[in-house]
């Protein structure tokens, strides 16, 4: 496990690498962000943005999503994985927004998590990006980076990873750290082919050092 000083080094290096890291899901308001994050489960942000570029022109309000048959909404998001289930959740979410929140997306994580299809990660993203509340949303990139670097343990659950990061990262840096770790995992420390040879964190990354040893053995 990394020391406090080593974690600080990691955070500073990620900041140097990705100083402008931010949410890459295209949206103009909290409602669009909720829909976009819901659609992004097990799907790339690029694909979601392609779909929402036309989706958000057609559907502006929760009422709009309920005004069409379920089959039509499914067709509109068909290129996205799990589209049938996601379409059902979008309609349930819209009904709840209208009935329980006056058509307005709630700001608190607790209320957000009551919405259909909104789990802990989605609630953290919306609270952070839309409402400026400090949060660390743990997606596959954040989890992978935290475990590879040794900030968290390999056996930790997603919730444990989130709790550990919240303990070890200053609260005022939670949201920025979340985005930088996503960028670091998405563009540098990739799942299948991490760029270990050019990584500024290699000297303290046990996983990276193991990979480099294997490369040397293969090339011998």
Burial class (CB in 10 A: 0-12, 13-18, 19+), 15: middle
Left (φ > 0), alpha (ψ -120 to 50) or beta: where does 102 sit? left
Backbone angles phi, psi at 174, to 5 degrees: -55, -55
For residue 67, what are its two tokens? 């005004």
Instruction: Tell me which of 121, 168, 210, 216 is the catalytic residue.
Output: 121
Instruction: Tell me which of 76, 86, 109, 139 is the catalytic residue.
Output: 139
Instruction: List, as own/partner pairs, every contact residues 174-178 make where C-beta atoms lie below 8 angstroms and the sequence separation is at least 24, other chains included.
Output: 174/128, 174/134, 174/135, 174/136, 175/128, 175/129, 175/132, 175/134, 175/135, 175/136, 176/15, 176/21, 177/11, 177/14, 177/136, 178/124, 178/128, 178/135, 178/136, 178/137, 178/142
Left (φ > 0), alpha (ψ -120 to 50) or beta: where does 132 sit? left
Burial class (CB in 10 A: 0-12, 13-18, 19+), 3: exposed
DSSP classification of residue 202: G
139 is catalytic: yes
Which residues participate in catalysis according to the annotation? 121, 139
């Amino acid at each position: 496990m990394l020391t406090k000083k080593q974690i600080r080094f990691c955070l500073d290096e990620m900041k140097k690498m990705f100083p402008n890291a931010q949410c890459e899901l295209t949206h103009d308001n909290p409602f669009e962000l909720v829909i976009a994050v819901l659609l992004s489960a097990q799907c790339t942000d690029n694909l979601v943005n392609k779909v929402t570029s036309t989706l958000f022109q057609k559907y502006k309000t929760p009422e709009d999503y309920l005004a069409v048959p379920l089959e039509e909404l499914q067709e509109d998001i068909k290129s996205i994985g799990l589209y049938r289930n996601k379409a059902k959740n979008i309609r349930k979410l819209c009904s709840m927004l209208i009935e329980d929140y006056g058509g307005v997306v709630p700001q608190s994580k607790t209320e957000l998590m009551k919405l259909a299809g909104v789990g802990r990660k989605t609630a953290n993203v919306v609270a952070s990006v839309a409402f400026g509340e400090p949060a660390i949303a743990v997606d596959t990139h954040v989890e992978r980076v935290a475990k590879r670097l040794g900030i968290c343990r390999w056996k930790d659950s997603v919730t444990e990873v989130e709790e550990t990061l919240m303990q070890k990262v200053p609260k005022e840096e939670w949201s920025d750290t979340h985005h930088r770790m996503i960028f670091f995992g998405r563009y540098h420390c990739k799942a299948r082919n991490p760029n270990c040879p050019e990584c500024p964190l290699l000297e303290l990354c046990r996983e990276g050092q193991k990979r480099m040893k294997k490369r040397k053995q293969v090339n011998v």
